Structures are given as C-alpha cells and as structure tokens.
Amino acid sequence: MVALIAVAAVAVVALIVLVRAVRIVPQARAGVVERLGRYHRTLTPGLNLVVPFIDRVRPLIDLREQVVSFPPQPVITEDNLVVSIDTVIYFQVTDARAATYEIANYIQAVEQLTVTTLRNLVGGLNLEQTLTSRDEINGQLRGVLDEATGRWGIRVNRVELKSIDPPGGIKDAMEKQMRAERDRRATILSAEGQKQAAILTAEGAKQAAVLRAEGDAQAAVLRAEGEAEAIRRVFAAIHAGDPDPKLLAYQYLQTLPRIAQGDSNTVWVVPSELGEALKGFRSAFDGTAP
C-alpha cells in the first residue's frame, strides 16, 4: 500500500514537472525566460522546453503591429493659440528582451514621448502652418519616436494626426473666412463667364457683320455685272438693228416718265439730242424728211 502511494506521488510529481517543462508559444508571440532571476533566453513560436522550478517564463509579448490612439492633447502654437491634437501611433515590438527590461511600460512611454515631441514640434509653428503641415508633422514625429524607442525594442511604423481642433472662436472665424473666399471665387467665376460670353457674342456679331458685308459686296458686284451685261446686250442689239431717228425719239418719250417718278427729282436734265429726236419724230408724223 505504501509502495502504491509512493508510485502515485512520483507519477504526480513527474506529471507536474512535465507540464511545467513544456511551453507552447503561439504565432506572433514571444516569451522571455529567466533562470534564477536572470535573463536566459527568448522563447520562439512553437514547442519549447524549460527547466521547472528554475526557469520562469514571463508573460508573453505580442509581436504584431499595434495601434494606440491617445486622447486629445492641448498644444500651444507659436502664435499662442491652444489647439487640441488627437494622435494615433502604429508600432511593433521587435525585441522582446529590450521591451521587457529596458522600459517598464512601453505603451505609456510611447504616449508620453509622443505628447512631448508633439508640443515641441507644434510650438515652433503658427496655427496656419499647423493646419497645413500635417504630413510634415507626421514625418518628424515618427522620426523622433522611432529613434527614441529603438533602444526599447520597439519600431514606430506610422504616426497619424487624427484631428487638429483650433479654439471655438478661431474655428468660427475660419469658417467665415472660408465662406467669404468661396463667395469671392464664385463672383470671379461668374464675372469671367459673363466676360467670356460677351466676348463670344461680340465675336459672333463681328463675324456675322463681316459675312453680311461680304455678301452685300458680292451681290452688288453681281448686280453691277448683270446690269453691265444687260447694257452691253442692249447696245449690241441697238447697233445690230440700226435704229432710225423715229425709234430713238419714241424711246426718249418712254424714258421721261420714269425719270419723273423720283420724289427728289425737282430738276430735269434734258439731253441736247432730245431736240433733234423730237424733230425727227415730228417729221415722221408729218411725212416730211429731215
């Protein structure tokens, strides 16, 4: 009976020793092993064996990229305005040993270092530069944090300024300025549009007038050419017909009423040949030769 109890006790102790000797580390985790209070080694993901009662495994450290959002911090700009800046830090533990022994609480240390660095950077900028230089502030802040946290076994991958909130009065003034600027741009665009429309209208009227003038000129040339051709044909017909004085006198008499039809014709100019034509016309009716 005593032997059975001893065997059972030995089996229990062996089981406990085996359980404490085996450590399974998940992926993207790391464990720091201390032997008799001193750092011994770092456990990697997978199955690991330690010496029970001599080795102690500290809490596992997450090696994945972590995102920490810090509460908004009041920061004074160069022109003595207080802005509230909300930051987000993306970092990753690269050395479990350094993150365990070089710093007591690396998350709190990163937060305090971020606030201090941010106040130093923004303190040298005015409000307008702070609002428009977000990318530059992000880059400088990341460089300072990455350099300072390197000895802690931490790599800062990215820093983002989530929001920059100026004081309420400044924000209202900025909104009014933005509205005024938008109204000014709208007025300028409207004036430019009206100017362009007037220019296009004037250009169209000019081109239309030029085309009308060219059309009138071409029409006048064509009419003059037609009249000239008609006159040439009439003269050709007259010369071909060899008209006598009686026919010429008759044509003079037919032309006189058309000359008198104009309202402005107050003075008639009678050709010198008209007397001779009338004589010929009278002789024709009297039957006497000229």
The domain of 192 spans: 169-237
Quick one: 131 and 162 in the same domain? yes
Quick one: 88 and 56 in the same domain? no
Distance CA(35)–CA(17), nearest Å, equals 16
Contact 170, 81 (CB under 8 A): yes
Share of the chain above pLDDT 90, in %: 18
Is position 135 within any domain?
A: yes
Residue 43, beta-bridge partner list? 31
Q: What is the pLDDT of residue 286?
A: 56
* CA distance readout (Å), 49 to 21, 31, 58, 214, 248: 5, 12, 14, 105, 144
Both tokens assigned to 148? 């300072």
Residues 6+ apart with CB under 8 A from 260: 268
Is position 149 within any domain?
A: yes
Quick one: 57 and 84 in the same domain? no
Over residues 83-113, the pLDDT tens digits come to 888 889 999 999 999 999 999 888 889 888 9
Quick one: 96 and 146 in the same domain? yes
Q: What is the pLDDT of residue 289?
A: 46
Is position 266 within any domain?
A: no
Quick one: 91 and 77 in the same domain? yes
Characterize the bridge pairing of strands 55-57 and 46-49. Answer: unpaired
Quick one: 104 and 131 in the same domain? yes
Over residues 173-226, the pLDDT tens digits come to 667 777 788 888 888 888 888 888 888 888 888 888 888 888 888 888 888 888
- For residue 72, what is the DSSP state? P
CB count, 10 Å around CB of 155? 16
Q: What is the pLDDT of residue 39?
A: 93
Is position 112 within any domain?
A: yes
Is position 286 within any domain?
A: yes
Quick one: 104 and 35 in the same domain? no
Query: Considering its fold, how many domains does the chain have in total?
Result: 4
Name residues of the chain where pLDDT drops below 50.
Answer: 289-290
Comparing CA positions, the residue from 14, 123, 26 lying closest to residue 77 is 123
